[in-house]
Structure formats: structure tokens, C-alpha cells
Amino acid sequence: MIPVNFVYMRPDCLSEAAVAFARMQKEGRAPFYYGGGSEIITMSRAGSISPGAVIDIKGIPECNALELTEDKLIVGAALTLNTIKESRLFPLLGTACGRVADHTNQCRITLGGNLCGTVIYRETSLPMMLCDAELLLYGPEGARICPFNSIFNRRMQLKEGELVVQLHVPAWALNLPYIHVKKTANEKIDYPLVNLTALRKGEEIRVAFSGLAPYPFRCPKVERILNDRLLSPKARINLVLSILSKQAQTNYEGSSAYRMFVLRNILEGLLEEWK
């Protein structure tokens, strides 16, 4: 439960949600969109936030969509990580969803919540960065579709009152070869020391990272080096590490030096498997 008095609203459509958000904001109620609610409840209990209004989006059909068309997979932002994993429609995303928290929490955490929440790792963003995904957003100005990589820059860069409705994954990306390596300091379900997610399109390797820095990211310069077959694997890895060492963070889970050690081993395995 949220230990504060708040207004609870459950709109039936996107326009109702946007109108409700604007009205609650105008009344000074600090509204939040609510999907799975894990983070809102946890932060409210800790006193980090005090929502005056909660707008539950689980009743909006578009937010619960899970549909495979000829050219794309449509994934609603209110779907839980477990639902996405169990669907097996996009194995790479399913793998990422299955490595966030434990099974109980995967049945509560939504895709939109993982992408838009305050937990810095946002691991479901990595497959989206790599597959040229698009976002369907809805806000006070109506709906818009944008490339995922134009909206996600370390975190979601949404307009005031805007809601993530769906993610659209191009059909060509759904069954490409991939590698997902998540190394943690302790338990399998812990936050990542380093999460490297890689997708292979033709002869091109695409990579994205979480845990290494205080934000998820994809680096075109790193990809160019990894795909430069005129260089030896060792030379490629050394160049990549020299670039990424500047971004590596130190926190209670591990030092930057240890993260770089872990990353070197992951990269060696990646190039060996895909040589």
C-alpha cells in the first residue's frame, strides 16, 4: 500500500489518462502513471516520493497489447516482464526480462516501469537500443511514434505528462542471433556489475551495456572497433576497454577496475563465439 492519501484513477482510454494527468497536475497533486507499481509503492514507503494522484494505465487496451504483425511486434508498456518472457516472441527481450529481479517481481514489474523508473540499470532498454525499436507515446498533444534511440538517452526523455504506450520491434530483429551476459557481484538476481547485450545482424555486431556506467548506453565507436576485422581480437578488445574505462563507475557492487576486468572476459567470449 501507498502510505499517503492520494487520488486513484483508472482511465479506460489514452485521452482520459492524459486529461486526468493534466487535471491532477493543475490541482498540485503530483500525479504518477501507474503500471505494475513496484517502484511507486517502494519509494512511497521509503518517503522518497509522495504521490497525490495515481493514474492506473492497466485498463487501457493499447497499453496491454501483444501482437505480431507482418512487419513488427507490438508490446504494450503495461505488460509484465514475465508476460513478455513467457510469450517467447522476442527471445532477446525475453532473456533480458528474465534476468531482472526474481520471478515474483517479474510478475509485477512492467516493461514501461523498467524503462521509465528511477533504477539506473533499465536493462530492458538494451534490446530496444539494438533493434531499431520505436515508441508509441501519448501526451497532452496526442499520440506520436518516435525511434527509441531518439527518446532514450541514458534514461527516457519524455515530455511533461507523456505516457509510454507501446514499443514496436521490427520483425527482422526478432530471431537474430544474440548474446546476453549479465555478471553480478553476488546473486544471479542482483543488479549488474556489467550487462553486455549483443545482437548480430548479418556480419555486424551491435552491443549495448548496463551496469558498467551509471546509465545504459550503446556506443557506435565501440561497435566500429568490434566490427573491424582487420584488427586482431586482442587489439579490438584493448581499444574498446580504453574507451569504456572512462565511463566505468565505482559503487558498492564493485570498482571501475573490477568492472573492466569483467568486461574484458565478456568481450573475449563474445569475439570467440562470433569469430
* CA-wise closest residue to 93 among 248, 208, 219, 194: 208
CATH of the domain at 73: 3.30.465.10
Query: Same domain for 159 and 182?
Result: no
Give the pLDDT of residue 36: 79
Query: Same domain for 18 and 75?
Result: no
C-alpha span between 36 and 77 (Å, rounded): 10
* CA-wise closest residue to 52 among 36, 77, 78, 34: 34
C-alpha span between 31 and 74 (Å, rounded): 27
Give the pLDDT of residue 42: 73
Give how many domains the chain has, as a whole number.
3
pLDDT tens-place string over residues 164-212: 999 999 999 999 999 999 999 887 678 999 999 999 999 999 999 999 9
Is residue 1 in a domain?
no
- % the chain with pLDDT above 90: 87
Domain boundary among the residues 173, 202, 225 is at 173
The radius of gyration of the chain's CA atoms, rounded to the nearest angstrom, is 19
Residue type, position 195, single letter:
N
Q: How confident is the model at residue 2 (pLDDT cuts 50, 70, 90)?
A: low
Query: Same domain for 124 and 145?
Result: yes
Query: Same domain for 83 and 129?
Result: yes
CATH of the domain at 217: 3.30.390.50
Range of the domain at 207: 178-273
Is residue 135 in a domain?
yes
Strand, coil or helix: 197 = strand
Looking at residue 149, what DSSP letter applies? H
Q: What is the pTM of this model?
A: 0.95
Q: Does the pLDDT of residue 1 top 60, yes or no?
A: no
Query: Same domain for 165 and 65?
Result: yes
Domain boundary among the residues 173, 188, 207 is at 173
Query: Same domain for 65 and 168?
Result: yes
pLDDT tens-place string over residues 60-102: 999 999 999 999 999 999 999 999 999 999 999 999 999 999 9
C-alpha span between 83 and 77 (Å, rounded): 11
Query: Same domain for 39 and 91?
Result: no
- For the beta sheet containing 178-184, the strands, ordered from the edge strand earlier in sequence to the opposite edge, are 178-184, 192-201, 204-210, 217-218
Burial state string for 97-123 with b = 16 or more CB within 10 A and e = fewer than 16: bbbbbeeeebebbbbbbbbbbeebbbb
Is residue 2 in a domain?
no
Residues 79, 112, 19, 142, Cα dihedral to 10°: -100
C-alpha span between 235 and 219 (Å, rounded): 18
Domain boundary among the residues 173, 190, 210 is at 173
C-alpha span between 127 and 169 (Å, rounded): 10
